[in-house]
Structure 1
C-alpha cells in the first residue's frame, strides 16, 4: 500500500517501485495505490489503483481490496503527511483495523518511513498530537513494524517489548549510471584535476546549508591551486553563496543521469540537524556511487556509521562548528591520499546494507518468519 508511485515524483513511491521490482524476482507483488494520478506499468508488478486520497469515502476501495486479498503479507508504506493534509488521516487507521479484522490470516505490517513530526513550533506541536495517535494505532495493530532508522525501532521496542520492531534501512532511489564517471565529468565540463564536492536533493529544513557552504570554502582553501567544483544534483534551486568555486546546479534529472552526476563527486556533503541515518536516501545514493560522505552524527544516527568513520564516512556533531571544520579537512586529506581504496569500500558498504536485494531479503525474512508462527 502506497499513496503514490512513479511517474509521480515522490520519494516513498519511488522506494516502493524499486522494492517491488526486487521482491517481484521471487514472489508475486501487487501494489495498491491511488487512482488520482496517471500511472505507468512496472515490469513484473501488478498495480491496483483502488482508492483516492480525496473525499469522505476515499478508502472504500482500499478496504475491499484488503479484506479480500489472498496475499500472505500486506505492507503499508507510511509517512503521516503522505496520507492526509498535515498528516491528518484517521480514516487510514479505521480502514486498517477493519481489513485486519476481516482477513486475520494475513501478516499485516507497516513500514514507518517517519512516525510523526518532530519539527519545532506550535503548529507542529498540534500536528504531533494526532499524528502520535495515528502512529500508535497502526503500530499496535501491525504484526511487524519496520522502521527506517534503528533509533526509532529501538525506541518503539522499549515502549512495547511485545511488539516486533524491525530496523529496515531504505535503499537508493536511483538506477545505476549508464556511462562512466569520467564521461559524466566531461558532460558537465569537469576535468580530471578538479576536486568535485556536491549535494543531492533539495533544501529541506533538516539540511544545514550554512555548514555545506562553510565546508566548501574550507576545501577551496585547502586544495589550491586545484579548482573546486560544487555540484548540486536535483532538488529545488538554492542561492549558494560560495565565491571560490565553480557552482553547477543540474536541476531535476532522470534517475540514471542523477546517479551519473553523483558519481563525478569526490565528496558528498550532507549534514543533518538530527544526524545521518539509514533513512537518508541522499547519503545512500552517494555510497551507491562509490562517493565518500561528510555528514553529522546526531540523535537518530545508528552505530553502523561510527563503525566506518574516517574510512569513507566523516562525522561531526551537528552543533559543533569546530569539529565540523576538522572533519572537513580529515575528509579531504583522506581522499587525496587513498581515494582508490576508499571508493570501492563505500560501494561495498552500500551493497551489504542498502542494496535493494538486501532490503527485500530482510523484509521477506521477517514477514515469512512471523507467518510461519501463526
Structure 2
C-alpha cells in the first residue's frame, strides 16, 4: 500500500514566508505525482482542501497541549504514513526551543519519518550573550533528538548536514529551495510594469528588508541612484513599503525614484522582477541555495549581483550564475552593478546562464525526484 505523505510545517499559505512557499510547492508536486498529501500547520482550527491537499490547522498545534490533539488526529488518518518535517527551529514556537515537539517527532516510530532542514541550529559564538549560548546549545540538542530513527534527511544547503549525527550526515541529500515564483511571465505584464516605472534603468531588490541586508542594500542603492538621474529602484517583498518610505525620508532627493510593491501575488512579483535590468541581493552569510529570494531571480533568468559568504556553496563560484563579490562589501557590489548597467550584452549573457543553472541544479523537480526515490544511496 502506498504511504500517504504528511508534511509538518510551521508555515503554510496564506501564512507568508519561504518555508510556507516551499511547503506548498512540495505538497502540490507530490499530489501531482499521484500521492495522497496532508499538511499539519498552526492556524485557525479546521480542515480545508487546498486543491487536493488536505490541510489540518489548529492553534498552538506544536505546544505540549497541542501535541495531544495532533497525535490523536494524525493517528486517525489511514496508514501507512510518511512524515516529512519542514524544520526551522523558530517555526515551532517556545522561542525556538521546543524540545517537547522534537521528542514527540522522535517518538513516532510507527511512522516513516523524514527531515528537511531549512535551518539547522542557532549559530554559536564564544563571545555571544549567555541567552544566545543557551539557544545555540538547545537547538543542537533538538536536532539530535529529531534525528533519532529518521529514515532520510534533506538539507537546503550542504553546511546543515554537518550538524546531523552519523550515519544520517553522510546520507543527507542536498535539495536546494526552488523559486517561489512562476517561471513563465507574460510580456504584456512586464511592459505594463515598465510603463508604470517611467523609463530608465531599474535596479530591483526582492526580500523582507531585515537589518542585516537592509544596511548593505542602502549603501549600494543610494550611490547607484545618485550617479544617474534616470535610474529607478524597485523594492519588492514584505516590508518593502515601510523601508522605501524610510529610505525616502533619509534621501529626499531620491524619493520619486524609489518604487515599493508590498504584498503582491507571486505572478505580479515575477512580472515586476522581469521589468528590471538588475537584481541586487546582498546577503550577510553569502548567497546560498536556501535563499528563495535569489532563486526567484535565478529562475526568471535575471542578471543578479550578490556575494559569497560563510554559507555559500562551491557551485556559485564554479558555475557563476550570478555576478559575485567576495563579501557583502558595498564598494564591491557597487562596482559590479555599475559595470553591468553599462554593458547590456553581459547582462543578457549572465541572465541566460542564470536560467540554465537554475533548470539544471535548483528546479523543484530535482527535489521531488529525491523525495520519491526509494531504496537508493546518495
Q: TM-score, normalised by structure 1?
A: 0.84
Match of 2:338 in 1: 329
Aligned equivalent of 1:113: 118
- 1:142 equivalent among 146, 150, 157: 150
Of stretches 195-204 and 337-346 in structure 1, the one that deviates more from structure 2 is 337-346
Cα distance between partner residues in 2 of 1:247 and 1:64: 52
CA distance change for structure 1 residues 18 and 97 in 2, over 3 Å: closer, same or farther? same
Distance 1:79 1:69, change over 3 A: farther
Matched, 1:219 2:228: no
Superposition pairs for residues 51-62 of structure 1, below 5 Å?
52-53=60-61, 56-62=64-70
Is the aligned partner of 1:305 residue 2:316?
yes
Of 194-203 and 6-15, the range deviating more from structure 2: 6-15
3-state SS of paired residue (1:332): helix
- Deviation at residue 90 of structure 1 after TM alignment: 1.5
CA distance in 2, matches of 1:344, 1:327: 18
- Whole-angstrom distance in 1 between the partners of 2:67 and 2:166: 29
Q: Which runs of 5+ in 1 are unaligned?
A: none
> Whole-Å Cα distance in 1 between the matches of residues 375 and 308 of structure 2?
33
Partner residue, 2:289: 278
Partner of 1:22: 29
Say if 1:331 and 1:143 are closer, same or farther in 2 by CA, change over 3 A. farther
Judge conservation of contact 1:8–1:37 (CA < 8 Å) in 2.
Answer: no
Given candidates 202, 210, 225, the residue that maps to 2:208 is: 202
Q: 1:270 to 1:319 in 2, by over 3 A?
A: closer
Closer, same or farther: CA 40–331 of 1 in aligned 2, 3 Å: farther
Q: Is the 8 A contact 2:283 2:328 kept in 1?
A: no
Paired position in structure 2 for 1:33: 40
Superposed, 1:1-374 pairs within 5 Å as 1-34=8-41, 36-37=43-44, 41-49=49-57, 52-53=60-61, 56-64=64-72, 70-71=79-80, 73-100=82-109, 102-103=110-111, 106=112, 108-118=113-123, 121-153=129-161, 155-156=162-163, 160-161=166-167, 163=169, 164-176=171-183, 179-180=186-187, 182-186=190-194, 188-191=196-199, 194-207=200-213, 209-220=214-225, 224=228, 227-236=230-239, 237-238=242-243, 239-240=246-247, 241=250, 243-244=253-254, 246-309=257-320, 312-318=321-327, 320-334=329-343, 336-365=344-373, 368-369=374-375
Instruction: Name 2:3's counterpart in structure 1.
Output: none
Q: CA deviation at 1:175?
A: 2.9
| TM-score, normalised with respect to structure 2 | 0.84
Which shifted more, 163-172 or 267-276?
Answer: 163-172
In the TM superposition, what is the alpha-carbon distance from 1:364 to its structure 2 partner?
2.0
Deviation at 1:18, TM superposition (A): 1.2
Give the CA deviation at 1:50: 6.8
Measured in 2, the distance between the counterparts of 1:174 and 1:32 equals: 21
The superposition leaves residues 116-161 of structure 1 with CA deviations (integer Å, 9 ceiling, x where unpaired) of 22285443322222111101111243221211112222x246x635
Deviation of 1:51 after TM superposition, in Å, equals 7.5
Q: How many residues align?
A: 356
Q: Is 1:174–1:259's contact at 8 Å kept on the other side of the alignment?
A: yes
RMSD of aligned alpha carbons: 2.8
- The whole-number CA distance in structure 1 between the counterparts of 2:265 and 2:120 is 29
Structure 1 residues 323 and 342, CA gap change in structure 2 (3 angstroms): closer
Residue 69 and residue 95 in structure 1: after superposition, are their counterparts in 2 closer, same or farther (change >3 A)? farther
Gaps of 5+ in 2: 1-7
Query: Is the contact between residue 340 and residue 346 of structure 2 (CA under 8 Å) also seen in structure 1?
Result: no
User: Structure 1 residues 50 and 247 mapped into 2: Cα distance closer, same or farther (>3 Å)?
Assistant: closer
Q: Distance in 2 between matches of 1:55 and 1:274?
A: 31
CA apart distance, 1:176? 4.3
1:177 Cα offset (Å): 5.7
